[in-house]
Amino acid sequence: MYTCANCTVQACGQQTPEKLPQNCPMRNQPLMKEALETYALPENHDFYITASELEALGYCQWPRIKETIQLCLRMGYTKVGLAFCRGLRKEAKIVDQLLRRAGLEVVSVICKTGGIDKEVCGIPAEHKVHPGQFEPMCNPIAQARLLNEQHTQFNIALGLCVGHDSMFYKYSEALVTTLIAKDRVTGHNPAAALYCAEGYFKNRI
């Protein structure tokens, strides 16, 4: 079992293979070799190189939205998909404007597309946020398929719910990046709860 999260050696970042822990993933050389070869595949090579170059170009200077735009431009994408949460429609409009200002065509689809009540897909009435009322289901599969239909070259996920985002990734034919990870309690800054895990959030996570 691999336990990189608790490693105190980090030989991977120092070119010190002699210090590898016994359960270090780097001991699995066949897998490492296969992974490295996979980066050379036509569908991966240019994308990975471009993303890695952007890491250096904007290091500690560019916000994620600029990195995202630059990735699209440098990859030659012209049509970008934006799958967003209704609760972040204001942010979605800003992202849409920034992408268009950069010369990109934007296809955006809101999470509640379809307008289907949650109970139709099997969510019990008592598990609605507001039981007894019409409450549209989040529809990440439809979001993905609508963007697939429009032949977007790259998709951006903006504030989709935990799990719903997973289904969007699963059904999207284009590669996806997450611009905002939803966290209603921390103003969409999930790391804040981790930084406060031993203090203010100790009894909330």
10-residue block means of pLDDT along the chain (205 residues)? 94 87 95 98 97 96 98 98 98 98 98 96 93 95 98 98 98 98 94 89 83
H-type alpha helices, 20-102: 29-39, 42-57, 64-74, 89-101
**pLDDT of 205:** 84
Pairing of strands 79-84, 154-158: parallel
**What pLDDT is recorded for position 56?**
95
- Phi and psi at 171, nearest 5°, equal -100, -5
- Residue 200 has a pLDDT of 81
CATH number assigned to the domain covering 62-195: 3.40.50.11840
Q: Identify the pLDDT of residue 114.
A: 97
Adjacent-strand bridge partners of 16 = none
Distance CA 124, CA 182 (A): 23
Distance of CA 151 to the CA centre of its chain: 19
Reported pTM: 0.94
